[in-house]
Structure 1
Amino acid sequence: MIQVHSLRCEYLNNPLGLDVEKPRINWRLSSTHRAAKQMAYQIQVALNGQFSNLLWDSHKVVSDQSVHIQLNQVKIEPFTTYFYRVKVWDNFENVSDWSEVATWETGMLHSNNWSADWITASNESESEACDYIRKPFHLSKNVKSARAYASSLGIYELHVNGDRVGDSYFTPGWTSYQERVQYQTYDITELVTKGENAVGMILGNGWYKGYFGFEGRTNIYGDRKAGIAEIHVTYENNETEIIVTDHSWKASKGPIKMSEIYFGEVYDARAELAGWSKKGFDDQQWKETERVDYPKENITYQQNEAVRKIEYIKPEKIIHTPEGDTVLDMGQNMVGWMHFRVNGNKGQEVSLEHAEILDKDGNFYVGNLRKATQKTTYILKGDPLGEYFEPHFTFQGFRYVKLSGLLNEVVLEDFTGVVLHSDMESTGEFECSNPLVNQLHHNINWGLKGNFLDVPTDCPQRDERLGWTGDAQMFFRTAAYLKNVAPFFTKWLKDLEADQLDNGGVPYVIPNIIQKTSGNLGGVTHSVAAWGDASVIIPWSMYVCYGDKRILEEQYESMKKWVEYLRNQGTKEALWDTGFQLGDWLGLDSEPDTYTGATDKTLIATAYFAYSTELLMKTAEVLNNEEDMRAYQLLLKKIKKTYQQLFLDATGKLTVQTQTAHVLTLMFELADEQKSKQIATDLAKLIEKENYHLTTGFIGAPYLNIVLSEYGYHDIACKLLLQTDYPSWLYQVTKGATTVWEHWDSIKEDGSFWSDDMNSFNHYAYGSIGEWLYKALGGIDSAINQPGYKHIILEPRPGAEMEWVTASVDSMYGKITSAWNDNQATFEYHLSIPVNTSATVILHGVSPAQISEQQKQLSEIEGVVGYTHENDRTFLEIGSGTYSFSVGVKV
């Protein structure tokens, strides 16, 4: 049997408002056979679920492709629902049934299809308060379907007939607003009815005009909030009607007196506008709205998943601090807000302040928040039945909540932490016999959840929360194990491209809001090594992890512009030795009271120049651009030669004796094979000299364990992982961390803190060790020549004193599992490979004769296509299926 399931369009399940003229679909397969492959497929696309109104039939297509099938033959129209289904043929002459029907629905498709106007409240800029805008409307017939399309300059909530529409938050998201503003599509069929109706929007400042960035600016993109919306109604007789934002809408202030991302929210329940988005509401005292002249050409559909409420956390306990504060301990450093219930008198003011940490005396600590206050203030209306509240347009990074203004005894059941982040599908699982390492993995995952809120931020609590490019590229591969981040980064890369300078330079943060006045960044705002290289590294990594060739096509010019920018920077074409560099940020080998490690900045810059050039060369090859491929191949040779002349002596040793220098040289293959072996040996000695501790910063840490395992020093990589004293990954765990810290010692051994100016306790950069957990200990990787896990590399490397490891990744083709159990007698290896993929299993220190499954030799095992033995490693070529190999006892 072969079955087709899990159909997706552009990574999404039945998406609404998908404005892609050539959409791509993918599906997964299940089979009762091992080594099952798809040999052919058939796709049908129709305008109804019965497929009687057929638009296109591919008929039988001989192909094993089941991901990113581009529907070039279907002409896409706006405001249309498309139904599709798939059947396949396999290599055992089975034909599947038709899959379940899946859909995608287009929205505006083109910006010129917008009929609505941008509108704003006439006194909008006079107050910190949020604006409420509304309009009543009449529907003359019974409704068959209704869609709402909405966006804002700022952040909005859409309401229809008294109900908040959808489950998305912080819409329309943070983009490079001058170039692109996203809109969202909602199915509101169940919310409207024949007769009188009403629609409204609440508008907040958000990233658009609120106080944002560590420079303390407001009105970064504009000085007036605005909204735009359309409701498209289809009646049962198929007639249509459109309700739009225009001058007929009215505006008022309301109970949200202030809502800022850094500062929290002030809500006065006494000023609530009961029924403001319902029919029959008296809005005579409301003021007219004004049209805003803002380009509709900038409006684009939402590419990434929305921010949603993902999970709920109950506080673990109430703490009464030495200073006399009442504090809730959530037990987890989280991002989102508190939902709470209060009883009290009209006009009573209750406040919740949020912090990540308690100081060494056990007191509530907000020093590391800098100017951010993270405070929710609620003024009661005096409802005797109790009042419930949660904020609207702000989010907090916190574990601890200080309560003020409550008259009654605090009851834990009245408080719930609401975790919010971009609603990415979870794909990675990792567990091992060491509970400290399991907590580290937990912390890495929660670091992602806390910082992937529409953009990949550096931290979620202080007055920063910016999309630092370097942090994002360093963590990308780990993130791609943990979550399906393809839509998330597709959107973010569009903003990178939009903010990229004409000369190819890439800003430090995307979207870019840093001004040249930032003195602590050298007075420049763009283009440093490892940060700007995100423009090349992330698209290529997306291709490797998801097989997404389109992202390379769409980002190619941006990638090329960056490499050409580097080409023009140095004193020589193949050297980057000029300009400001962040260097090995927070490296432990730095000078006292400085942020930058000791590794030569020209070495770092030139190494990344080589790496980006190599990835651009590979991208050109994938895209069949032979001319560029040859040109960048030649440039890469020049860069490597220059690098070797400058940084390698005659004996093959690096002239820069830091861990990071050795790591980059090995990771980016900047020396020949023989010299690389010497450099790896030298790296091992440097680590031994530090009593098996690291000295790397942001740049060296992501690759340190990877190169050690790759070059024969897996035992040292495991020793680094298992260290529990400072500096190490597990030091944070022993100090009670539930997320990854910005510094190796954000809490010092004596309980004091790093400097308040830059000490985040939720900072995912050092969480990049997660890639090694999955790739080395778990053994899961994708072959580059068949990307997206079409061909899987399974190379588990036991070590770290672990008895067992279980890892899995839910790929585009399905779930990949790699689990081993190591004891004195045998090594058990259990794995599963999705249908329509294959794998190479690499087992170290094992001969083929030692491998069996249920007492069968390799040659007798179904699904094992072939095997070889080389350099004390056995290579198995296998097809899809679930396997349980035993190693250590000859058959």
Structure 2
Amino acid sequence: MHVYGLRAEYRADTPFTAASRPRLSWKTADAAPGWTQAGAEIEWRRSEAAAVARVEGRDSVLVEWPFESLQPREEGSVRIRVHGADGSTSDWSEPLDVRAGFLGDGEWHARFITVPEPADIGQPMRLRREFTVRPGLETATLYATARGVYQVEIDGVPVDADRLKPGWTAYRSRLVHETNDVTDLLREGPNAIGANLAGGWYTERFGFHGQARPFYGKYPSFAAQLHLEYDDGTTEVVATGDGWRATADGPVTASGIYAGESHDARRALPGWSSPGYDDARWLDARPDTAKAQVPVPATAPPVRATGELPVQEVITTPSGRTVVDFGQNLVGHLRISVQGREGDTVVLRHAEVLEHGELGTRPLRHAKATDTYTLAGNGTETWQPEFTFHGFRYAEIQGWPGEFDPADVTAIVVHSDLERTGHFSSSHELLDRLHENVVWGMRGNFVSIPTDCPQRDERLGWTGDIQVFAPAASFLYDCDGFLASWLDDLAREQFDDGAVPFIVPNVLEWAQTPAAAWGDAATVVPTVLFDRFGDRAVLERQYPSMRAWTDHLAALAGDRLLWEGRFQFGDWLDPDAPPEDPARAKTDPDIVASAYFQRSAALTARAASELGHAEDAAKYGALAESAREAWVREYVTAASRIVSDAPTAYALAIEFDLVTDPAVRERMGARLAWLVRRAGYRIGTGFVGTPIIQDALTRTGHAETARRLLLQTDNPSWLYPVTMGATTIWERWDSMLEDGTINPGEMTSFNHYAFGAIADWLHRTVAGLAPLEPGYRRLAVAPVPLAGLDRAAAELETPYGRARVGWEVHDGRIVVHAQVPPNTTALVTLPGRASEEVGSGDHEWTVDDPRTEPRSPGLTVDARLSDLIEDAEAYGAVLRAVESADPERARGLRRGAVWTEHRTLRSELQDAGLLARVGQALADLKRD
């Protein structure tokens, strides 16, 4: 038995912590089956002094710091020894270095500085200063930030590999700094510190329809202080302000998040961040007088390069252009190695798709997404942009000198450097590719903040997208600190009346109108972080925000307790909505809004109860119940129909527990399944309904309907984009049409994760691994094996350790395996067996296979469409027969048929030739 995974607070990528009392987490491995922790010893060692504290009980996730608060720049090491309820004791864990990464009150006195006269909005620049290190240096700690994006070099060496520092926060109220130990970069005597700086998000032009403009400021500025601590106890601080020099004459001539970056290697400044450098073009830096926040230490992992992809194919387009294909839609940039003459310029244009063989740039809208590199002409030159990123699979190469070799171009994958924790696999190739697309979509849209898309002139923190995707995200990656940081900004951007903007950080003045499923991120995301990571502190920090949002909705709902008649996005991007009006969904937006009002009230009541606010718990619990009753009274008929007779409406009623009567829920589940079948098992939901429809079906006994919906490949469906070669999740179900044409809508992205929320259902239900208590302290092992799959498995590094649930079909029976981490238990619910509670360890069960795949023997052209759609084999035979004679008619049958018991195949086709062909195809089916 041993302890591993020891960490302090959120970040495991650095010893520096942002908290003076960092919470500690650890895991236990190789313990005896059923092992639980009875207590643990925590040792805190500084130099030769050590203190030991004991905590009693099972707590091992985000345990409160048991020692005195850390002081600025204090450092030491922590190690853990656990004791089991069975009397066992582990060895001490490996020590974890812990260092205070924050400054003390009043210690920040660096001034923001910039070039004397910026020439352009977002002007790239460099700043530097020389200083002397005395003998006896013990520690050098750098605190740095920017209004913009930056990298620091000391004596010619970058201080880290982070990108786009300090990231994007609500700059007007919160700016973060990174903390680096730079002791090893310094030497006794003269040294130099330099900052490479561009505008990034701070100077970006935000807005739509050609009306974009800078929101925060027009030029970047930089602030830092370097603390030098000597062995005689003295300290020196090198801070931005007087004595710094600046220039805008460096090689980066232009840089923007949307536009891309331009680099002229002829303007290189060799030695600019080393001592002894002298260039008359450098002038005294000037203070940036705009009001600035005192920066606070970053709590989320930084953006980094996390992978590389080689060119998979070189394409010559119909117009004769050279395009490289990396085989994967990704976010990042290119690295090129090129030889040529001085002044040769290589132009790199990026896009996610090809349209009719050419680079498909229309979805980028006003984003140029173009990088340029002008050669110095001094042999092989290797370059990559520093302060921009693009969403792309394809890149067009223009101006390449000499013969082009694809080995000289590499795609660098860039995103917030989160730890991958969750995996899913199955026997279904398309399903596994769908899940991989979800992973890549998350990677591309977790760049400092959770964004909607990474390629066009948007890339904003839309609250609705992360509200629906947070459960899936929390399984795939350890994103607790990342989303907790973003929630801090959400609370800061919340308006005085409690309204939550559409986007966080909010850079659109019109985005303050409250919208259901978007603003509800204020209540949903903290709840997800509590459930998935056991992060009670984030629930406590966000509770005032949760309460303010719910109070705001209560005021909007008024005496009727219905949120109605106001602006809403509704079930955004319902597949039946026209391209030009993505909000025109089948489900009335008031139904969606009032359902979310009830849900936010219920989640606020739950948070209040967890935090011990009994009066609030009673208040919001009563509000949620009253809102639920109002929703049922207004929108549910006596026959258990919802006035918007659409899948999303029924999914909301079931999954949000708006309808509690078991008989009514059963009828609603049956109606939902009927609607799905009527549509030919093609998806009929948008942003709101898609994350919950599969749960609503399986919870009401319609797993077979959920299976058919999941494995559908016709447009629209989850797997249709996969059949079209998608490698990320699309914004629209049909972002690309069957003929290879990009959707005509003005808003079309090929990398949006919202519809990828299905992954959470794959993890919890298809594989069967779900949390029952916060942080997976108690698991649910409850797979729902689906016909058409021979196996499925989910694996997760939970806060307590590795968990895994998987099932396989063997000789007509299903074998279920589960790995339950030490210090946890699991409730096991399997087909045909009573539920049972098990302890940690490896478990296996064998159960009878409950699955059946409907087949209707002897179908003819007089078959009811409801019978035909239930028989996948017969349905496929009919479509193939129709398509061989009339492809357009086959497309119409797929998209336009109403698959009910009141229609027949004969009445649908009404063509003697087609009927004969179809009848023969059905007769040719060999049935057992």
Q: TM-score range by the shorter chain?
A: over 0.9
User: 1:169 maps to which residue?
Assistant: 163
1:735 to 715, 719, 724: 724
Asked if 1:35 is matched to 2:24, the reply is: no
SS of residue in 2 equivalent to 1:757? coil
User: 1:627 maps to which residue?
Assistant: 615
Change (3 A) 1:665 1:452: same
Instruction: After TM superposition, give the deviation of residue 550 of structure 1 in Å.
Output: 0.3
The answer on whether the counterparts of 2:175 and 2:295 sit within 8 Å (CA) in structure 1 is yes
In 2, Cα distance between the equivalents of 1:533 and 1:265?
36
Deviations 1:376-433 (A, max 9, x none): 10111111x2101000111010000100111211111111100000011001111100
User: 1:375 maps to which residue?
Assistant: 370
In 2, Cα distance between the equivalents of 1:352 and 1:455?
26
SS of residue in 1 equivalent to 2:572? coil
In 1, Cα distance between the equivalents of 2:560 and 2:419?
43
1:348 to 329, 335, 344: 344
SS of residue in 1 equivalent to 2:829? strand
The answer on whether the counterparts of 1:322 and 1:363 sit within 8 Å (CA) in structure 2 is yes
Change (3 A) 1:812 1:295: farther
SS of residue in 2 equivalent to 1:87? strand
In 2, Cα distance between the equivalents of 1:749 and 1:127?
42
User: 1:262 maps to which residue?
Assistant: 258
User: 1:435 maps to which residue?
Assistant: 429
| Greater mean alpha carbon deviation, residues 480-489 or residues 672-681 | 672-681
In 1, Cα distance between the equivalents of 2:556 and 2:105?
39
SS of residue in 2 equivalent to 1:663? helix
Which aligned pairs between 1:402-801 and structure 2 lie closer than 5 A?
Answer: 402-516=396-510, 525-572=512-559, 574-590=561-577, 593-596=580-583, 597-672=585-660, 673-755=662-744, 757-783=746-772, 786-801=773-788
Asked if 1:44 is matched to 2:43, the reply is: yes
Change (3 A) 1:57 1:296: farther
In 2, Cα distance between the equivalents of 1:407 and 1:118?
41
Asked if 1:11 is matched to 2:10, the reply is: yes
Change (3 A) 1:297 1:513: closer
The answer on whether the counterparts of 2:713 and 2:719 sit within 8 Å (CA) in structure 1 is yes
Instruction: After TM superposition, give the deviation of residue 573 of structure 1 in Å.
Output: 5.2
In 1, Cα distance between the equivalents of 2:787 and 2:298?
43
Instruction: After TM superposition, give the deviation of residue 367 of structure 1 in Å.
Output: 0.7
SS of residue in 1 equivalent to 2:397? strand
Deviations 1:840-877 (A, max 9, x none): 1110123xxxxxxxxxxxxxxxxxxxxxxxxxxx2121
SS of residue in 1 equivalent to 2:729? coil
Asked if 1:235 is matched to 2:230, the reply is: yes
SS of residue in 2 equivalent to 1:57? strand
Change (3 A) 1:622 1:314: same
Task: Could you list the structure 1 runs, at least 4 aligned residues long, displaced by more than 6 angstroms after superposition.
Answer: none
In 2, Cα distance between the equivalents of 1:175 and 1:244?
23
User: 1:886 maps to which residue?
Assistant: 846
The answer on whether the counterparts of 2:579 and 2:744 sit within 8 Å (CA) in structure 1 is no
Instruction: After TM superposition, give the deviation of residue 466 of structure 1 in Å.
Output: 0.4
Deviations 1:809-866 (A, max 9, x none): 11101111111101343211111111111111110123xxxxxxxxxxxxxxxxxxxx
| Greater mean alpha carbon deviation, residues 636-645 or residues 746-755 | 746-755
The answer on whether the counterparts of 2:453 and 2:459 sit within 8 Å (CA) in structure 1 is yes
Q: List gaps (5 residues or longer) in structure 1.
A: 517-523, 847-873
AA aligned opposite 2:10: Y
SS of residue in 2 equivalent to 1:776? helix
The answer on whether the counterparts of 1:129 and 1:256 sit within 8 Å (CA) in structure 2 is no
Instruction: After TM superposition, give the deviation of residue 111 of structure 1 in Å.
Output: 5.2
The answer on whether the counterparts of 1:346 and 1:382 sit within 8 Å (CA) in structure 2 is yes
RMSD: 1.5
User: 2:812 maps to which residue?
Assistant: 825
Change (3 A) 1:356 1:591: closer
The answer on whether the counterparts of 1:370 and 1:756 sit within 8 Å (CA) in structure 2 is no
Instruction: After TM superposition, give the deviation of residue 592 of structure 1 in Å.
Output: 7.1
The answer on whether the counterparts of 2:344 and 2:401 sit within 8 Å (CA) in structure 1 is no
In 2, Cα distance between the equivalents of 1:428 and 1:592?
35
Deviations 1:789-815 (A, max 9, x none): 000011011004100112111110111
AA aligned opposite 1:834: P
In 1, Cα distance between the equivalents of 2:790 and 2:34?
30
Asked if 1:225 is matched to 2:220, the reply is: yes
In 1, Cα distance between the equivalents of 2:783 and 2:233?
59
Instruction: After TM superposition, give the deviation of residue 888 of structure 1 in Å.
Output: 4.2
AA aligned opposite 1:562: W
Change (3 A) 1:387 1:298: same
| Greater mean alpha carbon deviation, residues 182-191 or residues 239-248 | 239-248
User: 1:856 maps to which residue?
Assistant: none
SS of residue in 1 equivalent to 2:404? coil
- Alignment TM-score, normalising by the size of structure 1: 0.93
In 2, Cα distance between the equivalents of 1:296 and 1:529?
33
User: 2:302 maps to which residue?
Assistant: 306
Instruction: After TM superposition, give the deviation of residue 693 of structure 1 in Å.
Output: 1.6
User: 1:858 maps to which residue?
Assistant: none
| Greater mean alpha carbon deviation, residues 413-422 or residues 239-248 | 239-248
Asked if 1:83 is matched to 2:70, the reply is: no
Instruction: After TM superposition, give the deviation of residue 297 of structure 1 in Å.
Output: 4.6
The answer on whether the counterparts of 2:35 and 2:85 sit within 8 Å (CA) in structure 1 is yes
Aligned length: 845
SS of residue in 1 equivalent to 2:846? strand
Asked if 1:246 is matched to 2:241, the reply is: yes
| Greater mean alpha carbon deviation, residues 572-581 or residues 807-816 | 572-581
1:275 to 254, 268, 271: 271
Deviations 1:258-287 (A, max 9, x none): 010011111111111111001110144311
Instruction: After TM superposition, give the deviation of residue 295 of structure 1 in Å.
Output: 5.2
The answer on whether the counterparts of 1:702 and 1:768 sit within 8 Å (CA) in structure 2 is yes
- Alignment TM-score, normalising by the size of structure 2: 0.89
SS of residue in 2 equivalent to 1:727? coil
User: 1:327 maps to which residue?
Assistant: 323
AA aligned opposite 1:5: Y
In 2, Cα distance between the equivalents of 1:406 and 1:481?
43
AA aligned opposite 2:381: E
SS of residue in 1 equivalent to 2:719? helix
Deviations 1:454-504 (A, max 9, x none): 111100000000000000111110111110110110110011011000000
Change (3 A) 1:595 1:14: closer
In 1, Cα distance between the equivalents of 2:184 and 2:169?
31
SS of residue in 2 equivalent to 1:28? strand
SS of residue in 1 equivalent to 2:385? coil
AA aligned opposite 1:249: W
Deviations 1:591-632 (A, max 9, x none): 674212121111110000001111111001100111001111
User: 2:107 maps to which residue?
Assistant: 113
In 2, Cα distance between the equivalents of 1:444 and 1:550?
29
User: 1:841 maps to which residue?
Assistant: 828
Instruction: After TM superposition, give the deviation of residue 770 of structure 1 in Å.
Output: 0.3
Instruction: After TM superposition, give the deviation of residue 239 of structure 1 in Å.
Output: 3.4
| Greater mean alpha carbon deviation, residues 462-471 or residues 748-757 | 748-757
Asked if 1:812 is matched to 2:792, the reply is: no
SS of residue in 1 equivalent to 2:693? helix
In 2, Cα distance between the equivalents of 1:126 and 1:717?
55
Change (3 A) 1:202 1:111: farther
Q: List gaps (5 residues or longer) in structure 2.
A: 850-928
The answer on whether the counterparts of 1:42 and 1:57 sit within 8 Å (CA) in structure 2 is yes
